[in-house]
Structure 1
Amino acid sequence: GQFLYKMWHLVNCALVETPANAISNGRITDNKVLSTTIKNVMQEKNIREKKAIIAISCHRTITRYITMPNMPVNELKEAIKWEAKNHIPVFSDNLLIDGKILKQTEDNKLNIVLAGLDKNTSYDYLNMLQDAGLDPIAIDIYPAALKRLFSSSNVEEPYCIVDIGASLIKLIIINKGTIYADNVVHFGNQSLIEDKTNLGVIDEIRRFLQYFSTQNRGENVKSLILTGGGALHKNVGNFMTGELNIPSIKILDFHNFDVDFEAFDFENKKLHLFSNAIGLAMRGVVI
């Protein structure tokens, strides 16, 4: 994508199934097949950009949201490492730890997201991208990517982004212009709606939303923004609204996005499949 004249323009895109047995539980199990698949689809779609930003499966990434005193950037980097030891329960030397300022509060403090990722996992992904002929410039986190995308949606806060994938749901609560909390809920490969055993998933989502309410003097999440492949199911919005008693919406029209759907030969609603990728592409322009 490109950001020109205060508008995002989709320049090129590609969607390909992950090769069978190439990734298991968030770890790359077949580097050659995966890197070759990426290389081939980029050639087929004539994608020339080499810089790459990725996000790794959420259950492989640990995130914590904290508030710290305002301080110079050079001091903050060292302070984040010390804070991580207090907030990440499985802290070890085998974790890559990083932090990012999300927002400066009215009382001059810093809202920060801490992220921890297993070093071996990160090296596997970086090596795979290099084998595909790409130049990896960052490993991001899904909550930040989705927040970037939907920050221009003008939905009343607090709201919860519900990214419905094939076997897990990513939940991100946005409040006061920043990420308040995130969670991952796993479910079976059957349809979230049709498989009645997935009602336990709804209970987990309800508990996550209740956590926000409890921590904020009874304030409730006002709406659910549905995205991901699961959002393409025509009845998923009514199902979520009925079970959680919170309005569910699917946002496809962004005032600062320009997409020529005819040129890319896919329907408007298929943007849900690219929501994470678009949010990653916005990194560096939108916090």
Structure 2
Amino acid sequence: MREIIAKNLMWIVLAGGLLVISFVGLLLLLRGKRTLGIDVGNAQIKIVELRLGKKPHLLRYAIVPTPPSTIENAVVKNPAELKKALLTALKIGKFTVRRGTTVLTGQNLLLRHIELPPMPQKELRSAIAWQFDQFFQMRLAEMLTDYQVISEGLGKPSSVLLVAMQREPVMVLVDNLRQAGLLVEGVDIEPLAALRAIKLCRQADTERQTVAVVDCGAGTTNISIFSSGLLSSVRVLNIGGSDFTRAVMNYLGVDWSSAEAEKKMNGFRLDSDIATVVIPLRDKLFNEINKTLSYYFAENRGQDLVKVVIMGGGSSMVGLGSQLEKYLYEHQNSLAKHFSVELCNPLMVISHKLPSDKVELLGPTLSVAVGLAIREEHIQ
């Protein structure tokens, strides 16, 4: 009802031809554009509504469980259950807008660094399309693609980052969001949404330095490496928060929710009852992160890592940041010895009306959703 009233009051034409903006309408205009960030994951659906402007403001949010086996590796397996979960999220969030940006993630996301002969920018896309099957061994008609020129020079080959994903899973996700009443204005990839959240938090000079992002999800852990503001490497690990919860559940003989609570309370504490099963999994995760970074910096010896930024629902596990930093320092020879591991929490820098305890709990989980809703021009 409030939305209908506001819409009707937006413009009032008075006798004499004078166009007057009502107080309510002026207020709505000054408040800036409102948009949604829609992060549909294997275990949770996260939606935020931001009011964009000089300082972004979190207006509303919702976090609901994704029903089991509904989403697997960014592919919708059970549309009916997904629609129910989305409708629940919309009901909880009471969002005032229904349009926004959603995200692509998972192992279906393909990344290639390619070199092309010198050519005008307008010819690049045609050249990429012509050679596409050589880069990915897939038919272009079945894929959604985009590219970014990393470097070019007069008479020199162009270095290009090529991103691709199968078309059908993307269109199915967008269609499911539409059926739930959400209008998708844009589809972004998880690494770039994560980068915007980091820029918002001013955690590193991402335009000049090399930064690694570790997004700890329920089903997977996504590692993205950025150098001088450009996405240079992506790897998806098949280890996530659900693996830790499952190990605790089996070890203690409790149900899933009890195991989840135990995991959140004790995390990686070495003296906890669950350390016996959690620490071996932790070491497996840390080893894969270490291998990813080692390989990248062995191939890019002119670069120095300055920061590892962690985010996602699994990033709030007790001891994760400090123990990961210690592990990397002990096992890395190719990294600079002056990097740090930090938690990304965009709720520390945008305005909102949340209590401090919720800010610490929700911020890392909502990082990608905030990054989806925000745009570069709104990052001060």
Same fold by TM-score, threshold 0.5 exceeded?
yes
Give matches, 1:1-287, under 5 Å. Answer: 1-5=50-54, 7-66=55-114, 71-73=120-122, 75-88=123-136, 90-93=137-140, 95-101=142-148, 105=151, 107=153, 112-152=160-200, 153-156=202-205, 157-187=209-239, 189-190=243-244, 193=268, 194-217=278-301, 219-245=303-329, 247-252=340-345, 257-262=350-355, 266-283=358-375, 285=377
Kindly report the root-mean-square deviation, in angstroms, between the aligned alpha carbons of the 2 structures: 3.0
Stretch deviating more after TM superposition (211-220 or 105-114): 105-114
Stretch deviating more after TM superposition (211-220 or 142-151): 211-220
Task: State the alpha-carbon separation in 1 of the partners of residues 119 and 321 from structure 2.
Answer: 41
1:173 CA displacement: 1.1
Length-normalised TM-score, structure 2 = 0.65
SS of 1:11's partner is: strand
Deviation readout 1:58-101 (Å, 9 max, x if unpaired) = 2122122446557344x33323323533332x422463231143
Q: Structure 2 stretches of 5 or more lacking a match?
A: 1-49, 246-266, 269-277, 330-338
Q: Is the 8 A contact 1:94 1:118 kept in 2?
A: no
Residues 256 and 202 of structure 1, relative CA distance in 2, 3 Å threshold: closer
Q: Is the 8 A contact 2:344 2:363 kept in 1?
A: no
Task: State the alpha-carbon separation in 1 of the partners of residues 88 and 346 from structure 2.
Answer: 31
Question: Taking every aligned residue pair, what percent have the same amino acid on both sides?
Answer: 20
1:169 CA displacement: 1.1
Deviation readout 1:171-225 (Å, 9 max, x if unpaired) = 1112112212111111261168424044233222222111222222264322211
Task: State the alpha-carbon separation in 1 of the partners of residues 152 and 75 from structure 2.
Answer: 41
Length-normalised TM-score, structure 1 = 0.84
Task: State the alpha-carbon separation in 2 of the partners of residues 12 and 254 from structure 1.
Answer: 12
1:151 CA displacement: 2.3
Q: Is the 8 A contact 2:211 2:309 kept in 1?
A: yes
SS of 1:10's partner is: strand
1:32 CA displacement: 1.6
Task: State the alpha-carbon separation in 2 of the partners of residues 59 and 138 from structure 1.
Answer: 20
Residues 223 and 267 of structure 1, relative CA distance in 2, 3 Å threshold: same
Mark the structure with the bigger radius of gyration: 2
1:23 CA displacement: 1.9
Q: Structure 1 stretches of 5 or more lacking a match?
A: none
Task: State the alpha-carbon separation in 2 of the partners of residues 254 and 283 from structure 1.
Answer: 16
How many residue pairs get aligned? The number is: 282
Q: Is the 8 A contact 2:64 2:88 kept in 1?
A: no
1:265 CA displacement: 8.3
SS of 1:166's partner is: coil
Residues 137 and 96 of structure 1, relative CA distance in 2, 3 Å threshold: farther
Paired residue type of 1:230: G
Q: Is the 8 A contact 2:194 2:371 kept in 1?
A: yes
Paired residue type of 2:372: L
Residues 267 and 70 of structure 1, relative CA distance in 2, 3 Å threshold: farther
